[in-house]
């Protein structure tokens, strides 16, 4: 049996193009619900902004790096963990927060701000921590990852749809709300279908190597949720804001991670399997957590 670092997940060009489009539509659908006031509201309470950014873009990548040093997973799996940790919050975090009876307005605002920051911080965090750990640095050296090329992809998938969505919302609010109700669920369904297609085309690989990522993926996700929750508690935020920060930190945009993995790493085994598993698992963990928290109002 090949080592997981030598395995490549097969994902054809047409499917990759559809994944690009689906992720851009997801972001456009999220942006249709965002206004400039969402950003202004965040800056009226800078404590929430600082804690949200710290938890998601500083603490999570750093703790992920420490976790990699501790458990020493196979290099491609370690790189997958770093990729997921470098991505911004997932597009379903707003829905999860609403279900959990958290601060939905804060969730939407943090999603918008995190998406804006991710254009720069996702490439930076991934390359920084990937090169800091020797086994993953060796992989990065072989693929010759271009920071500017990585930045360009992130801008196209996150930045452009964000600006266009906000522009449509500003000019045609009623149209924006109608489109948002259609595009969000539709694009999420398309994304899930694409992940399932990737699974079905590589079933033997997932059966042989999936066991390597299940415990790591679940543990990593729970740590991410716990980090957001503990940061919020440590700074005496209300329960609804604790819920929000936990969900925003723990629900990552693994779809973006998968896209970058297929684009730059040709579906490198451990990376793709970890990101795909995370994409499914964080929906399960988010729904379970939101269902539990929906009963805890105070």
In three-state secondary structure terms, 8 is strand
Report the CATH number at residue 139: 1.20.1530.20
Q: Does residue 158 lie within any of the structural domains?
A: yes
* pLDDT per residue as tens digits for the range 244-273: 999 999 988 877 888 788 878 876 778 888
Whether 223 is in a domain gets the answer yes
Torsion, Cα 68 71 72 74, to 10 degrees, reads -100
In angstroms, what is the C-alpha Rg of the chain?
18
- 276, part of any domain: yes
pLDDT at 72 over 70: yes
Q: Which residue has the higher pLDDT, 240 or 65?
A: 65
* pLDDT score recorded for residue 218: 94
Across 22-36, 175-189, 284-298, the highest mean pLDDT is recorded for: 284-298
- Does residue 298 belong to any structural domain of this protein? no
What is the average pLDDT across 180-186? Answer: 73
pLDDT at 138: 87
| pLDDT value at residue 19 | 67
Tell whether the model's pLDDT for residue 232 goes beyond 90.
Answer: yes
∠ at Cα 94 (91, 98), nearest 5°?
150
Asked, for residue 210, whether it belongs to a domain, the answer is yes
- Of the chain, the percentage scoring pLDDT greater than 70 comes to 82
In total, how many domains does the chain have? 1
Q: What is the model's pLDDT at position 203? A: 66
Range(s) of the domain holding residue 33: 4-293
pLDDT at 9: 60
| Banded pLDDT at 242 (limits 50, 70, 90) | very high
Any residues with CB less than 8 A from the CB of 194 and at least 6 apart, and which? Answer: 15, 18, 19, 22
Q: What's the half-sphere exposure (Cβ side, CA atoms, 13 Å) at 155?
A: 7
pLDDT of residue 291: 87
Cβ count within 10 A of residue 44: 8
Q: What is the pLDDT of residues 26-55, one digit of tens each?
A: 778 777 777 777 667 667 778 888 898 899
pLDDT in tens, 101-148: 888 778 877 877 787 888 888 889 999 999 999 999 988 888 766 777
Residue 221: pLDDT band by 50, 70, 90 thresholds?
very high
For the chain, what is the mean pLDDT?
Answer: 81
In a domain, residue 224? The reply is yes
Phi then psi for 8, rounded to 5 degrees?
A: -120, 130
pLDDT band at 2 (very low <50, low <70, confident <90, very high): very low
């Amino acid at each position: 049996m090949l080592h997981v670092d030598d395995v490549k997940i097969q994902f054809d060009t047409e499917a990759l193009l559809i994944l690009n489009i689906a992720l851009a539509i997801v972001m456009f659908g999220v942006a249709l619900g965002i206004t400039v006031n969402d950003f202004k509201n965040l800056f009226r309470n800078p404590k929430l902004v600082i804690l949200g950014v710290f938890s998601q873009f500083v603490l999570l990548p750093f703790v992920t790096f420490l976790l990699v040093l501790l458990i020493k997973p196979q290099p491609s799996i370690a790189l997958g963990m770093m990729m997921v940790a470098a991505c911004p919050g997932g597009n379903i975090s707003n829905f999860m927060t609403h279900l959990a009876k958290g601060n939905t307005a804060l969730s939407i605002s943090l999603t918008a701000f995190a998406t804006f920051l991710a254009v720069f911080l996702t490439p930076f965090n991934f390359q920084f921590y990937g090169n800091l750990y020797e086994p993953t640095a060796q992989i990065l050296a072989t693929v010759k990852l271009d920071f500017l090329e990585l930045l360009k992809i992130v801008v196209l998938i996150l930045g452009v749809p964000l600006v266009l969505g906000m522009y449509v919302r500003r000019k045609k609010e009623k149209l924006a709300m109608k489109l948002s109700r259609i595009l969000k669920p539709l694009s999420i369904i398309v994304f899930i279908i694409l992940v399932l297609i990737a699974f079905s085309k590589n079933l033997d690989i997932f059966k042989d190597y999936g066991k390597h990522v299940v415990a790591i993926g679940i543990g990593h996700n729970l740590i991410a949720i716990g980090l957001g929750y503990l940061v919020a508690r440590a700074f005496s935020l209300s329960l609804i804001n604790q819920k929000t920060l936990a969900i925003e930190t723990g629900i990552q945009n693994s779809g973006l991670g998968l896209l970058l993995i297929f684009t730059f790493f040709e579906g490198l085994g451990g990376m793709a399997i970890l990101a795909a598993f995370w994409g499914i698992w964080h929906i399960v963990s988010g729904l379970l957590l939101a269902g539990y928290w929906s009963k805890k109002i105070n």
